Structure 1
Amino acid sequence: MLNWIRRAQTDAGERPGVTSEKAAEMRKLRGENRELKRANGILKSASVFFAAELDRNK
């Protein structure tokens, strides 16, 4: 069976699986999660840097 037919059946609820809408939402959330993890790493590095600067200036 062709992929687009299976996808249409899943989206219509005629076949088990993840719908196109849910798959798109998961892709979006994974991208956001990846970006937040990257930003968190940058902020952690910056806080370590500034904490070291404060210690040097005491």
Structure 2
Amino acid sequence: MELKARVDREEALAFLGHRGQKLGDLRERLERAACLCEKELVPRGVYREMDASEALALLPG
């Protein structure tokens, strides 16, 4: 399975403190940065599919 990097632009704006103000060139700069991240990042991960009963045995609480 190939994982794709994806940047949530609206979430990035929220982290930057955006509250509906005019963005000016910030929107364009954010888009360029997000595209670069999505192009260059190579996410990696490991996962395991299991029944719910197996998962409950591994995850306390």
TM range (shorter): 0.3 to 0.5
Structure in which a larger fraction of residues adopt helix: 1
Point out which structure has higher relative CO (alpha carbons under 8 A, 6+ apart): 2
Greater radius of gyration (CA): 1
How high is the TM-score relative to the length of structure 2? Answer: 0.32
How high is the TM-score relative to the length of structure 1? Answer: 0.33
